[in-house]
């Protein structure tokens, strides 16, 4: 799965070499054009041959002796001739890469070894692949597997020297996972009525939750709630500087907001915020919210829901997700909890994504 601006990259060993590998130039092979149309067909021209820089290159072929002479150089592209003068056909003459669009922002990249019978016949090793998230129009990691002109890593060395993808796979998994910004938090204090934001198992009420769930805009919902009997106060809490609450990544603290509340016995409290990298998912207080007079961590009372108004795609990788410059594809379903695992991935626990505390 991928969104506009995201790219797929991979590495696989040129098997009959000391430390060469095939990979696209960074950041990888784009899967959508500038207009958001899926790219399909032969993308072999984007695959390159690279020297890992850790072994002196012998003449490529089945008689290469491993591991070979140690070298301490940086990663470089092999364009016809390596540093030792050995010659190579273009990467696209040895490996065929084909991109197929499967619908709903999912693609299949097929790699085929076509080196047989050429001067550079070689097996290919099991590989490692990655797709980087995009946020604010920028890829979060433009060089997930290697960096041209820089020293290699132990994981990539294992692939390029031995065809062993275990270490690099494990390394990439530590950087792989789900994260999302949260839209400005809607908080409602009410008394004598049920949770006015939504009702599980029913359709969207048409009072503004759809706009929050699809686009992160709580203003319409806030206006509707303020007109309801039994609603005492409504707040929309935006993070300073960013408005959205940014996730806790790369050593940065997650975004946070707070609000002083005037509470009386019998008051209840509920919140709602968009799961930003989704089509129409939202976090919200479960059931009838919580007793607004209680103190402490109430994160366990928050659930993740599908608003049922937009077709779902992989979170953070959907061409129709509003926060990835898409236009949601409308549907008409009931509001339901988001399954976990779901059709796309396994999410962290809700309390690992959002924390709510009353003081």
pLDDT per residue as tens digits for the range 20-34: 999 999 999 999 999
Task: Measure the CA angle with vertex 111, ends 99 and 11; round to 5°.
Answer: 105
DSSP string, 173-221: HHT------BPPEEEEEESSS--SS--TTS---SSSHHHHHHH---HHH
Instruction: Examine the pLDDT at 247 and tell me if it is beyond 80.
Output: yes
Of 46-55, 131-140, 238-247, 283-292, which range is least confident? 131-140
Instruction: Examine the pLDDT at 174 and tell me if it is beyond 80.
Output: yes
Contacts of 10 (CB under 8 A, 6+ apart): 23, 24, 28, 109, 111, 127, 128, 129, 130, 145
Confidence of residue 178 (pLDDT cuts 50, 70, 90): confident
Confidence of residue 252 (pLDDT cuts 50, 70, 90): confident
Residue 94: is the preceding peptide bond cis (ω within 30°)?
Answer: no
pLDDT value for 219: 98
Can you tell me the mean pLDDT for 275-304?
Answer: 98
Of 2-16, 123-137, 209-223, which range is least confident? 123-137
pLDDT value for 182: 98
Q: How far apart are CA 168 and CA 157, in angstroms?
A: 9
Q: How far apart are CA 110 and CA 42, in angstroms?
A: 10
pLDDT value for 224: 99
Q: How far apart are CA 2 and CA 106, in angstroms?
A: 6
Q: How far apart are CA 91 and CA 217, in angstroms?
A: 48
CB 124 within 8 A of CB 10: no
Can you tell me the mean pLDDT for 80-85?
Answer: 97
Structure tokens that stand for 289 in this block: 């919210």
Instruction: Examine the pLDDT at 354 and tell me if it is beyond 80.
Output: yes
Helices (H) and strands (E) in the chain, counts: 4, 20
pLDDT value for 71: 97
Instruction: Examine the pLDDT at 168 and tell me if it is beyond 80.
Output: yes
pLDDT value for 122: 99
């Amino acid at each position: 799965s991928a969104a506009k601006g995201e790219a797929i990259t991979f590495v696989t060993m040129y098997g009959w070499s000391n430390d060469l590998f095939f990979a696209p130039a960074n950041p990888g092979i784009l899967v959508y054009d500038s207009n958001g149309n899926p790219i399909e067909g032969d993308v072999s021209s984007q695959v390159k041959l690279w020297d890992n820089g850790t072994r002196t290159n012998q003449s490529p072929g089945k008689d290469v002796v491993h591991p070979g002479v140690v070298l301490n150089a940086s990663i470089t592209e092999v364009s016809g001739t390596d540093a030792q003068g050995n010659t190579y056909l273009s990467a696209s003459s040895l490996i065929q890469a084909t991109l197929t669009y499967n619908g709903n922002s999912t693609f299949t990249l097929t790699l085929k070894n076509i080196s047989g019978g050429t001067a550079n016949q070689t097996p290919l090793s099991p590989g490692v692949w990655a797709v980087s998230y995009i946020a604010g129009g920028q890829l979060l990691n433009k060089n997930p597997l290697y960096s041209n002109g820089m020293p290699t890593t132990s994981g990539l060395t294992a692939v390029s020297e031995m065809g062993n993808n275990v270490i690099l796979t494990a390394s990439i998994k530590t950087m792989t996972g789900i994260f999302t910004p949260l839209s400005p938090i809607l908080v409602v204090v009410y008394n004598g009525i049920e949770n006015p934001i939504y009702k599980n198992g029913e359709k969207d009420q048409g009072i503004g939750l759809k706009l929050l769930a699809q686009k992160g805009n709580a203003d319409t919902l806030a206006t509707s709630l303020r007109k309801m009997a039994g609603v005492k106060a409504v707040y929309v809490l935006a993070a300073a500087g960013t408005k959205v609450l940014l996730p806790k990544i790369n050593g940065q603290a997650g975004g946070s907001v707070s609000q002083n509340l005037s509470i009386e016995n019998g008051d209840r409290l509920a919140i709602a915020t968009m799961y930003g990298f989704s089509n129409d998912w939202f976090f919200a207080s479960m059931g009838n919210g919580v007793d607004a007079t209680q103190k402490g961590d109430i994160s366990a009372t928050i659930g993740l829901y599908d608003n049922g108004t937009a077709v779902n795609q992989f979170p953070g990788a959907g061409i129709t997700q509003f926060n990835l410059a898409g236009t949601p594809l409308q549907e008409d379903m009931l509001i339901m909890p988001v399954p976990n695992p779901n059709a796309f991935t396994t999410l962290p626990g809700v309390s690992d994504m959002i924390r709510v505390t009353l003081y």
